[in-house]
Structures are given as C-alpha cells and as structure tokens.
Structure 1
Amino acid sequence: MIRVFEISGMHCEGCATRVRKAAQDLAPGATVTLEPPRLTLPETAAVDAEAINRRLAELGDYRVAPPAG
C-alpha cells in the first residue's frame, strides 16, 4: 500500500531536496513534493513515520504526519 504523509517545516526547494534525499535513503522510490508538502512512500517501503521523523530531526525542524481527514 502506498503511504502518504504531510510534511511540516518545509518552506523552499532546498528543504524539499534535503527531505527527499533523507527519505530516499530510508525508502528508495520515495517522492517529496513542496506544493503540497507531502512525502509518498512506495508499496515496498518498510519504514514507518517514527523512523522517518528520527531521520528528519537530524536535518532540521521537519516532521511527517498522516494527512488530516
């Protein structure tokens, strides 16, 4: 199942690039968009939001959460 997360703390393409690289290190095939600020994990990804957030905390004030609604 493809999983989509909202990302807080991303404000520019530089942020998106940092988050994209970190996400792809954890889950090859992950995609990140700035507008809207989202991370999409492929079906094969065996990583959860907690692991992603630990990695993102090393980069700055970025955080993922399931989309509202």
Structure 2
Amino acid sequence: MTQVFEVSGMHCGGCASRVQRAATALAPGATVTLDPPRLTLPEGTALNAETINKALAELGDYRAKGPLAQG
C-alpha cells in the first residue's frame, strides 16, 4: 500500500532535496515532489505523520500532513 503525505514549507528545489534525504533515510524508495508538495512512501512502508515530522523538524520548518491517499 502506498501512502501520500502533503508537505508544507517546501519552496524550492533545495527544500525538496532536504526533505527527500530525510524521507529516504526513513523509507528507502520514498519520493518527494515540489509541485505538488508531496511525499510518497513506497508500497509496504507504513509511517505516520508524527514519525515523519520528527525527522523533518531537524531540517527546518517542514510539516507532513496525512496520509492523504492510500492505494
């Protein structure tokens, strides 16, 4: 099952790269897009927003909300 989270606070490619590195550390294969600002976890990975936000808090003012969709 794939989980998709909305990520606030990303404004540029540098932001997306920082979030991508954090997401990959949590879930190898995770993908981050800037437009729309989303974090998609690979199938078989189950994380909640709290866990993701703990990792993102170390990087800056980024917040994950969701999951928005599962499929």
Q: CA RMSD in A?
A: 1.4
State the SS of the aligned residue for 2:32.
strand
Q: What TM-score results when the alignment is normalised by the length of structure 2?
A: 0.89
1:40 maps to a residue whose letter is: T
Larger displacement relative to structure 2 (30-39 or 42-51): 42-51
Moved runs in structure 1, 4+ residues, more than 6 A? none
Greater fraction strand:
2
C-alpha offsets along residues 4-29 of structure 1, whole Å, 9 cap, x if unaligned? 00000000000000000000000000
**TM-score normalised according to structure 1 size:** 0.92
List runs of 5+ in structure 1 lacking aligned partners: none
- Secondary structure of the 1:45 match is coil
- Which ranges of structure 2 fall in alignment gaps of 5 or more residues? none
Q: What percent identity do the matched residue pairs reach?
A: 69
The alignment covers a number of residue pairs equal to 68
